[in-house]
Amino acid sequence: MLTVLNAITLSTEFLEKKEIESPRINAELLLAHALKCRRIDLYLSHDRPLSEEEINIYREFIKRRSKSEPLQYITGKVEFYGLEFKVNPSVLIPRQETEVLVETIINSVNTTAKIKILDIGTGSGNISISLARNLINAEIKTIDDSESALETAVENARLNNVFEKINFAKFDIKSSELPGVQFDIIVSNPPYIAEEEFPKLKDELKIFEPKTALTDFSDGLSYYRIISGKAGKMLNTGGRIFFEVGAGQAEYVRNILSQNGFSEIVIVKDYLKIDRVISGLKK
C-alpha cells in the first residue's frame, strides 16, 4: 500500500538522483496536482493510501519531471504577482524577476490615473494582466507575433477578470510600427539570450520553453535596438519605456536607450541584486 508520505519520499529520492532542483517541493506539488488538492492538504493526510489510478497519474508526472520538463508545464499553471496564470509550451514561464518589472512600473505612476500602455511580446500575458489588475484606469494594448501565445494570454485575461481592459493583437514589432497610436508607457521583456549562450542553458529552458521567446538568434540585444528605435514615435512626450534585461546587459541597453534619445535612465536591481529593469524617458 502506497501512502501519500511514501509517495513523496520515494519521488523525492528519485528526482534527487535525476538532479532536479528542490526535489521535495517538486514531489509534493506534483502529488497535490495529481490528487487535485492543495499542497498543504498533503500534510493532513500522510497516511492516506493512493488508488491505482492516482499512482499511475503521479508516476507519469514524476517521469516527465525527471526528464527536465518544467513543473509549470506539467501542472499547467504558475503564480505571478499574486495571480494565477495558465502556461503551456507556447509561452515562456513567468518568473519571479519579472515581478520587479511590473512593480517598477506600478511604483512609477499614479495607480488611478488614465494611462495608455503597450506591452510588446506579451507571451502568457503576465505583465499586461498584472498591470491591468493594479492600475484601475489603464488602457492596455498587448501584442505578440505568436497566435498560440495570444490565445493563452486571452485565456489568462479572462481567468483574471481583465479581458475588457486589454486589447490583444497579433503584431510583429520587428516588421513595422503601430500606426497612429501614442502611449504613456511601453514595456517589454524581450528575448535576450544571445544565440551563442543558448546551448549552455539548462534542459528545462532549451528543450521545453519556446526558443523564440528566449533568444533573438543574435547577440541578445536585437530587440532592445528595434524597440528603442521605434518607441520614440509611439510614446507621448514624457512617456517612459521599461525593459527587463538579462544579467550583465544593463549598461549595453542604457547605451541603446541613450543613443535613441531617451534620458533619465534608471536601472533597478532584482531580489538577487542583479540589474534587472531599465527605463528611460522620452523628452
pLDDT reading at 283 higher than 90: no
Q: Grid coordinates in use for 108? A: 512609477
pLDDT above 70 as % of the chain: 100
pLDDT reading at 1 higher than 80: yes
Q: Grid coordinates in use for 173? A: 514589432
pLDDT reading at 270 higher than 80: yes
pLDDT reading at 177 higher than 80: no
What mean pLDDT is predicted for residues 163-181?
Answer: 88
Nearest to 111 by CA among 141, 82, 139, 135: 135
pLDDT in tens, 5-26: 999 999 999 999 999 999 999 9
pLDDT reading at 180 higher than 80: no
Q: Are 104 and 244 in contact (CB under 8 A)?
A: no
What mean pLDDT is predicted for residues 202-218?
Answer: 95
Q: Show me where the domains of the chain are located.
A: 4-67, 89-282
Tell me, what's the pLDDT at 178?
76
pLDDT reading at 127 higher than 90: yes
Nearest to 235 by CA among 279, 277, 192, 266: 279
Q: Grid coordinates in use for 48? A: 492516506
CA dist 179 and 188 (Å) reads 18
Nearest to 241 by CA among 124, 108, 114: 108
CA dist 84 and 244 (Å) reads 21
Quote the pTM value.
Answer: 0.94
DSSP-assigned beta bridge partners for residue 179: none
| Residue 115 DSSP code | -
Nearest to 233 by CA among 260, 268, 203: 260
Q: Are 223 and 253 in contact (CB under 8 A)?
A: no
Tell me, what's the pLDDT at 184?
98
When the pLDDT of each residue in the chain is averaged and rounded to a whole number, the result is 96
What mean pLDDT is predicted for residues 154-173?
Answer: 97
Architecture of domain 89-282: 3-Layer(aba) Sandwich (3.40)
CA dist 60 and 38 (Å) reads 19
Q: Grid coordinates in use for 127? A: 505583465
The pLDDT-based confidence of 176 (bands split at 50, 70, 90) is: confident
* Contact residues for 237 (Cβ-Cβ < 8 A; gap 6+): 282, 283
Q: Are 103 and 270 in contact (CB under 8 A)?
A: no
Helix orientation angle between 126-134 and 96-108, rounded to the nearest 10 degrees = 40
